[in-house]
Amino acid sequence: MTTSPVPVIDVTGLRKRYGRVEALADLTMTVEPGEVFGFLGPNGAGKTTTVKLLLGLARPSGGRGRVLGAPLGDREARRRIGYLPELFRYQPWLRAREVLALHADLMGLPAAGRGRAFDDALELVGLTDRASDSVGGFSKGMQQRLGLGVALVGEPALVVLDEPTSALDPLGRIDVRGILRTARDRGTAVFLNSHLLSEVEQVCDRVAIIDRGRVVAEGPLAAVLGEEETRIRTEGLAPPGLAALQAFEPLRLDGSDLVARELAAERVPELVAALVVLGIRVHGVTSGRESLEQRFLQLVGRDREGAA
């Protein structure tokens, strides 16, 4: 599949009010073709509202946006979008394969090649053996797998997945990561709405963190996570002791951990030696970027403090 230079999602200043409640305040973001984009936020941040606006299931109160180069909710664009809702439910009287056939009909997929497309989708989500079983007999996890298959059938240009692993066990979550990578390899852009940070961290190329209807951080994962830091687990270090370590600034204390930013790798042993000279006991040293969870808490927590 060829990629288009036009962003698959491009929204500016998108707003949505439900009565007196402002679900989205000012959402601006871009998703490029073929990337896995993680959309993160705490409960009630406006994630599902955003998804519904992108798909034309709800109307924006303001702002503008385009999906696959067309206005929000455009019918022709929806032909090339797959969607797994957070509240996923499929006709319980249909068989798994019939659900795929229904959605293929609605998408207007050509009859030729449908059988192969259904087989591929069912195999991808691990439901090949249950293709002829009624959906009514499926567990929630199996229904969510079917929903993933429905979203991916027909090789859409964009799939929008709203909390796609909420009903899955740990093995199922690992499978989903593989499914997302497969979709990306096929050239499909993935908009992954999730609050499971580890999931996002492992598969997403870029992320946006949203809180109270606004994007508080957006960009490649490495950029959102920020610079590397060195964390030294210590015993006996108090804030006055930091004065003796000015040569290694910027430093901060996080509980009993000493955290150094922008510290070159070759200077880490020097810092440890300085601590030992000061009589501080050192229990461990780790270097790396912040985890997405730490960054998320920092952003959302800072925003909350600012609002308070």
Partner 1 sequence: MITIARLTIGEAARRRILWVLIALAIVAVAITGWGVDRLVSAARDSGSSPLTIQLGVSQILIFIAFMFSFVLAMTAAFLGSPAIATDIESGIALALLARPIRRSSYLLGRWLGLALVLAAYGAGSGLLAILVVGWVSGYMPPSIWLPLAYVVGQGLVVLALSLLLSTRLPPIGAGAVAVVAFGLAWMAGSIERVGVAIAAGNPGVDLSIIGQLGRVILPTDGLWRGVIYGLEPGVVIAAASGQPLAEANPFFAASPPSAELVAWSVAWAVLVMGAAAISLRRREL
Span of 64-72, 88-96, 227-235, 272-280 interacting with partner 1 by CB under 8 A: 88-96
Name the minimum Å distance from CB 115 to partner 1.
18
Should residue 19 be labelled a site residue for partner 1 when binding is judged by CB under 8 A? no
Q: Are 96 and 121 in contact (CB under 8 A)?
A: no
**Separation between Cα atoms, residue 66 and residue 74, nearest integer Å:** 9
CA torsion 82-84-88-89 (nearest 10°) is 20
Distance between CA atoms of residues 125 and 176, nearest Å: 8
CB 79, CB 107: distance < 8 Å = yes
Q: Which candidate, 96, 75, 221, places its Cα nearest to that of 150?
A: 96
Token code pair at residue 255: 């509980």
88 binds partner 1 (CB under 8 A): yes
144: Cβ contacts below 8 Å, ≥ 6 apart: 84, 88, 164, 165, 166, 167, 168, 172
Q: How far is the CB of 58 from partner 1 (least distance, A)?
A: 5
Taking the complex as a whole, the smallest distance from the CB of residue 258 to partner 1 amounts, in Å, to 49
Figure out which of the listed residues 58, 68, 100, 260 binds partner 1, where binding follows CB under 8 A.
58
Comparison of 91 and 198: residue with beta carbon closer to partner 1:
91
Considering only 36-44, 102-110, 112-120, 237-245, which stretch makes contact with partner 1 by CB under 8 A? 102-110
Binding mask 142-171 toward partner 1 (x if CB under 8 A, else -) reads -----x--x---------------------
70 lines the binding site for partner 1 (CB under 8 A): no
Q: How far apart are CA 66 and CA 6, in angstroms?
A: 10
Stretch that binds partner 1, among 74-82, 110-118, 192-200, 297-305 (CB under 8 A): 74-82
Tell me which residues touch partner 1 (CB under 8 A): 18, 52, 55-59, 75-76, 78-79, 81, 83-85, 87-91, 93-94, 102-103, 105-108, 147, 150
